[in-house]
Structure formats: C-alpha cells, structure tokens
Structure 1
Amino acid sequence: MPVESHHTLEPYESLRPFAGGSLDISLLHPENGGQLERREETDGVLYIQGWTMIPDRSGFTLPERVLVVHDQEIIGQIELTDLRPDRAEEFGFDPKVVCGFKVAVPLSIATGGLQMISIIAESSEGEYWMVGPRRSEWVQLEVTGRCNLKCPQCPNNSFSSAHNQELEPQDLKLIQPVLDMVTHGCLDGFGEIFMSRHAEHFLSAIHWSKNFLFHTNAQLLDKQRANLILDHSPPIRKIIISLDTLDTGKYRKLRAGGELDRALDNTRQF
C-alpha cells in the first residue's frame, strides 16, 4: 500500500517477477481501470507510467495487483508507488483510491515492443481492468456496406450501389497499421456486419486489448455467428442491437424485410 502522496517522474521501478501464467481475457472488463501517461521505448527499455483505480461495490478502490502482460502472458507485477491526488482532483475521485506507478520493462522480455505490452489492474476477486492510454484513438471501419434490410430511414437506400461493397482480405494489409494504432473502434457504418463474407478475417486482426463495438439488426445473429463474436470477445466488448420498436407492425415498416420475433429470439439466444 502506498504511503506517500506526491508525484514524481523518476525513478522508475524495476519489473517485479510474477508467476501468473496466462491472462484469462474472458474476465477483462470493458471499462478502463486507469490511464497510461507515458509509454516510451528508449535504449532497450520500455518506460511505462500511469495511474490506476478500479470499481468496487462502494465506488472505487485500489487494485490488488497491477500486472504487465506480454500478449496474453503475465510477465511481471508493478509496485504501486504513490497516491495521485492530481488525477483524483481532475476526475472527481477520492484521492485515497487513485495510485500511480512507474515501471521499466526490458525489451529482452518484451519482444515486439510497446504494441505487445498491456497493463492490467486486478481486483481481489480476480477480475481485470485494462489501464489504457490517456487519449483514446478511434476508428470506424465499415466491414461491409451491404445490408439485409431496407429500412426507409437509412441513408443506405439513397446511396448508389457503389456503397454496397465490402472489405476483402487483401485490404487488411492497408488497414492493419490503423488497427494496431487505435484503442477503440466500430466495425460498421450503414451495412450489416453479418452480411460480410470476411468478418472473421477482420475480427482476428484486432488485438484482444482493443475496445471495439458494432451495431446489428440481429436478423442474422444465429448460433454460429454468436459463437464467432464470443470467440473474439475481447476485442469485441459491446454489441448494439437495433430494434426501434417492440410493436410487430411498426417493426415491419421501420425494419423492412425483418421480423421482430427473429431479432428478439436471436438476441435471447445470444
């Protein structure tokens, strides 16, 4: 438990070994458990600095541990160094539950550099929160422009057929650097993601530490597609089901070509 209440940039703590094995990413919450303020690679060392706190039943608390994860393998534990009243005041939190950390990670045990390193706050119950960058980088990637419905209010109906295209696997070469750089994203625009023939290809290209979502009308959300999403969760952390109404007649007008019962049944099954 930290005893000081000041903030300094130096020194950086050495990484403490922690035999934690693999990270169970199914226990990773979608919300962040703090922020990273510095991630810099210098002379064969990754310098990582930030602050952390996590939700609990009474509000917020300090994590049980802060872990350094390389891909999905836990390679070390970070010592919480000092309280961060500056960040507590900025975000309106109790200063006793916001704590800083500074750690130096040798590149010799972190092959792949910054892109492969994640900082994870762990609760006493064994749940995880990502400690994310201070600034979120967002991308909207329309995997397909095609849709299975003809909703009268959708701009897709007024666009030319040129919009009804989809990304192909060879497009990933251009897109991958963007997926690696961003922290958050959305995988649809006016199209229905489950109309894509290559959705799994693009889902597999997104690192598990990212925070992505998509919208769907759930007409095609069968068991096979549900398993596809669950197999990629994370990075898929939120799905928004578009219904508009629970009145069957109105639904058929607003979601032309769809059936309310099918959308609800698929959602319940999911």
Structure 2
Amino acid sequence: MNYVREQYRTSSGTGFQGFLDEIKVVLLEGQMALFVRGWAMLSHGSLAAVDCFDVSTDSLLGSVTEFFPRSDLPPGAMAFEARLPLSADNSHNYFDYGLLTRADDGRLFPIFHHSPENIQIELDGRCNLACVMCPQAFGVHSGPLSIDDLETLRPVIERSECVEINHQGEALLSPILLQLLQMVPPHKHIAFNCNGTALKAKVARQLLEYAPPVRSISISIDAGTEESFYKIRGTSLSKIMENARAFKKARDEAGLTFPQLTLTCTVISDFMEFVPDIVGLAAELDKSFRYWPLTGSGLHGGA
C-alpha cells in the first residue's frame, strides 16, 4: 500500500470541489470492469485526469482523461464517466478503489463518494476528563473495544468510505488506535473528536504517518479563557492550544494538508460570551469552527 499511500499523502484537497457519484463492478464485453461516474471542479487550472488506484494491489488501474459538461453541475464543473477493464489480479470489490483528480500542473485532489457508507466507532468510552456537560461527569461510559472486536468490524470498516471515531471517550488514549489506523486504506476518510490533551508525542506522529486516511481532527474547546475553560473541563486551555499549534506546525513542515483541525464548541449559556474568543483560536489553526448548543446551564446538569 506504500505507492497508493504516497499518492494520497501528496493530495491537497484545497481549491477543489467534486464527488464520485457512482462506482461499481460491471461486465464489459464479457470482462469485469470498474464503472466510475462523477464530476470535479478546480478553483484555478484545468483537469488533466482522474486516476483510479487499486489499493489491494498497490497499483494504478487506469486514468480517465475525457470530461464533459453536465446541466446539473455547478458552473465550471466537468463530469466524467468510464469503464476501466479489470484483470484477474485486480480486486473485484468496488470499495478497494480510490480516485484522485489530477490537475494540469500535477496537483492531486481526493474524490469521495457522493453518498458514502459511513461507520461510527467508539474505540473507548473512557476519558481522562469529566467535563460538566458530558455523561462522563455522571459516571456513564462504555468500555473499550478489543482487538477481536475490531477484527469483527473489519468488513464494515473496509467497505465504509468514512470512519468516524465517536467522541464520548478520548480516542487518542485507546490502546488499539494504531490498529484501526493501519486497517483503513489511504483513499478512505478517518474523522474523530478529541479533547486535545493527548494530541502530542507518539500519538501525534502516528496521526501524521497515517494522514491520510486521517483527514479530520476536531478538538473540543468550550470556553475562551483559562479560568472559564477550567471550570468546564478541569484542565488547561493553554496546554491544549499548545498541543494543537505544535501539531499544525509539524503537519505543515511535513508538507501535508491533512488532517485538518477544527475547534468544536459545546455552547453553554454560562460561557456564551466567550464563543468569539474560541473562533479567534480556530483562526490560528485551520480557520474551521463548529458548535453544538446546550440548552440551560451545563454547570448544573442542564440538558
């Protein structure tokens, strides 16, 4: 998988829009073929090809080089449709294939399924924090998954376009995180939420080594000052932001675009005034921010 992984590591994802509308294995004149249909659009430059990779054989299956306009697409977007013959050595499972759009200047952009099959996994329901608005504060959590559990889920994981590591527990502390990263091929998408305390050292190196498929990391930041943050999460905001900035620096120095960093805020009425400060912190990273409103006061068990 080294060849395919390196191709995906050089993809950027910025300045691009597009989706893979359909992918399946079909019969073409009595021979198995991979049918692909989708569209792509660049903010600048022109499309050169859509390269199709067989991850199971670590090889380039073929390229689509003909594009055409389609009335249902955004202005400037171009569609493609092709049947690529498969040999006996190629995989006959459509989910073993990934596509990269190639620009005329060599830039690469990953294409994801328009309606992907996704899976959410809670690697470990345990956490090293007990935030006031989280079930962890009341002693409610699920236990850790085992290696055997992960193997049982392997067929679903390999078939899914996106693997989201669900976020009641702290995924970065899971003893089987590396095994999951190794299980997901580079043309897929891993996204997860963390509290930022463990986004450093060995774990950070692993995430960058497997980027992609690790493409999205959300860090929970619920208040914009040291004092207010401690009241909610019982830990230091400055240390978490130090981890996040160091991770972004290491990613950028490695020449990687992924994983992208997002700050996620659970908006509690007691600390709503600090939301602009959190947006300012997000601007220091990848300028990505999202929020979940919590009705009532989380400090008093509001739901």
Task: Give your verdict on TM over 0.5.
Answer: yes
Which residue does 2:123 correspond to in 1?
A: 143
Q: Trace 1:127-206 onto structure 2 (pairs within 5 A).
A: 127-160=107-140, 163-206=141-184
Give the whole-Å Cα distance in 2 for the aligned partners of 1:134 and 1:269: 33
Q: Does the aligned pair in 2 maintain the 1:29–1:127 contact within 8 Å?
A: yes
Give the whole-Å Cα distance in 1 for the aligned partners of 2:216 and 2:188: 12
Question: Which residue, 67, 70, 74 being the options, matches 1:84?
Answer: 70
1:100 CA displacement: 2.0
Helix, strand or coil at the partner of 1:82: coil
Give the whole-Å Cα distance in 1 for the aligned partners of 2:202 and 2:105: 32
Q: Trace 1:54-133 onto structure 2 (pairs within 5 A).
A: 54-57=41-44, 62-71=46-55, 72-80=58-66, 82-85=68-71, 87-88=72-73, 93-94=74-75, 96-111=76-91, 113-133=93-113
Which residue does 2:187 correspond to in 1?
A: 209
1:164 CA displacement: 4.1
Q: Does the aligned pair in 2 maintain the 1:110–1:117 contact within 8 Å?
A: no
Helix, strand or coil at the partner of 1:150: coil
> Per-residue displacement from partner, 1:55-111 (whole Å, max 9, x unpaired)?
324xxx6521111211142232223153322x31xxxx11x5322221232233523
Question: Which residue, 223, 243, 247 being the options, matches 1:266?
Answer: 243
Q: Which runs of 4+ in 1 moved over 4 A?
A: none
Which residue does 2:257 correspond to in 1?
A: none
Which residue does 1:28 correspond to in 2?
A: 11
1:159 CA displacement: 4.6
Q: Does the aligned pair in 1 maintain the 2:46–2:104 contact within 8 Å?
A: no
Q: Does the aligned pair in 2 maintain the 1:144–1:188 contact within 8 Å?
A: no
Distance verdict in 2 for CA 1:47–1:221, change over 3 Å: closer
Instruction: Tell me the matched-pair count.
Output: 238
Moved more, 170-179 or 121-130: 121-130
1:158 CA displacement: 2.7
CA RMSD of aligned residues (A): 2.2
Distance verdict in 2 for CA 1:244–1:226, change over 3 Å: same
Moved more, 42-51 or 168-177: 42-51
Give the whole-Å Cα distance in 1 for the aligned partners of 2:42 and 2:47: 9
Moved more, 231-240 or 73-82: 73-82
> Any gaps of 5 or more consecutive residues in structure 1?
1-20
> Per-residue displacement from partner, 1:137-176 (whole Å, max 9, x unpaired)?
121111110101111111222354xx34111111122111
**Higher RCO (C-alpha 8 Å, min separation 6):** 1
> Any gaps of 5 or more consecutive residues in structure 2?
248-303
Helix, strand or coil at the partner of 1:173: helix
